[in-house]
Amino acid sequence: MLELRHRGGCPGPGGAVAPPPREGEAAGGDHETESTSDKETDIDDRYGDLDSRTDSDIPEIPPSSDRTPEILKKALSGLSSRWKNWWIRGILTLTMISLFFLIIYMGSFMLMLLVLGIQVKCFHEIITIGYRVYRSYDLPWFRTLSWYFLLCVNYFFYGETVADYFATFVQREEQLQFLIRYHRFISFALYLAGFCMFVLSLVKKHYRLQFYMFAWTHVTLLITVTQSHLVIQNLFEGMIWFLVPISSVICNDITAYLFGFFFGRTPLIKLSPKKTWEGFIGGFFSTVVFGFIAAYMLSKYQYFVCPVEYRSDVNSFVTECEPSELFQLQSYSLPPFLKAVLRRETVSLYPFQIHSIALSTFASLIGPFGGFFASGFKRAFKIKDFANTIPGHGGIMDRFDCQYLMATFVHVYITSFIRGPNPSKVLQQLLVLQPEQQLNIYKTLKTHLIEKGILQPTLKV
């Protein structure tokens, strides 16, 4: 039937047969058409086999080797596997939290480097899965182009950050002025070069598979690079907008695990059989309380609440400012039922503590869906963890699958409910302008102030 269709001999509506070749066609036209159709059919069959692959056809990925330190293996050798894993996870968790505190102490720049390092490692873990699954097809340039696109996207996003927050430094460097002025054009040119390289690398027998992997790379970039850029944007708003959301996700992960480990009985979701309702609910209440207390503690210090700014005179990042009303104690009237319980009319809170409830609620109720998404991804490729970087935890992506979703929410929350005009940023943008443009802005502002009666016409400024 397929052959008849290609030949034009398939009956039409009502049993009519398609007309014969038009007059003037070569006598061998039917044979040539048949030969071409057979080739196309053969190609379609080969590619159709790829599209019809089921989950059972996906190549097995060899399990990762156990990287648990030998000293821990010997110390915990007498325990059951369940308790052994509990202790390994606990010890490594405390170690990572300690290192995180050390990096916080070292300042904002080290936190940015940490975010960049985590982004690159997460990208590596996801791309490696794709490479292992499809390596038998010997796709040309797959990993090379993947890392090239990572470089291009990072160049674009970090260039935007430099233009926004380092304007005074850029003004002193003539070469940087050129790069910033044409930053988006350069970024597009770099990406276009990678796009052309991808097209040139296409192999006839692997077209569809190569486009699958092209999409794989771009989705991975969306998950890792875009979200890490938002994390850094949040950090510039003040370290507290970085620490409270991240620590809330960590708290929820730890407390949900503990509640599930000791009290878990009711399965929560099929994608993650070990997740339980007891752990989910216990993690929610614990995270809200933790976020409320952490917000109170951090709101006291300028180091955490002031926007992170680059000072060209000292050539470093500084966190010095007059805290906004968001981080100043306010008195709030209590609801009637709480007045009777607490025996007081008002309570003093930082307004940020109220916002922390929204952040903690998202971290504990919606954030875990990032983990469920990652679980579904791993099940699709028959792997337990993204990697074996951290014993007892898996890969870096296993620890930060919820953080990326949280980063987007915090950024949207700040831009929607918190952010106002930033005088420092406005000043930096004015400094980038040419003197004639600055003079025009000055004249317009002066005229506006005179019209409003704020400035006297004879008063010079």
Q: Which residue has the tokens 């090379």?
A: 144
Q: CB burial class (10 A; 0-12, 13-18, 19+) of residue 7? A: middle
Of 252, 233, 162, residue with least CA distance to 412? 233
Other Cβ atoms closer than 10 A to 184: 13
Which pLDDT tens digit goes with each residue over 102-138? Answer: 999 998 889 999 999 999 999 999 998 888 777 656 7
* pTM for this prediction: 0.76
pLDDT of amino acid 416? 92
pLDDT at 328 over 90: yes
The DSSP bridge pattern shows strands 267-269 and 272-276 to be antiparallel
Sign of CA dihedral 229, 421, 327, 291: negative
Type of residue found at 213: M
Q: With bands split at pLDDT 50, 70 and 90, how would you rate the model's confidence at 165?
A: confident
- Enumerate the domain spans of the chain: 65-105, 108-322+354-421, 422-460
pLDDT at 49 over 60: no
Q: Which of 71-80, 186-195, 270-279, 357-366 has the lowest mean pLDDT?
A: 71-80
pLDDT at 395 over 70: yes
Distances (CA, A) of 325 to 226, 234, 355: 31, 18, 13
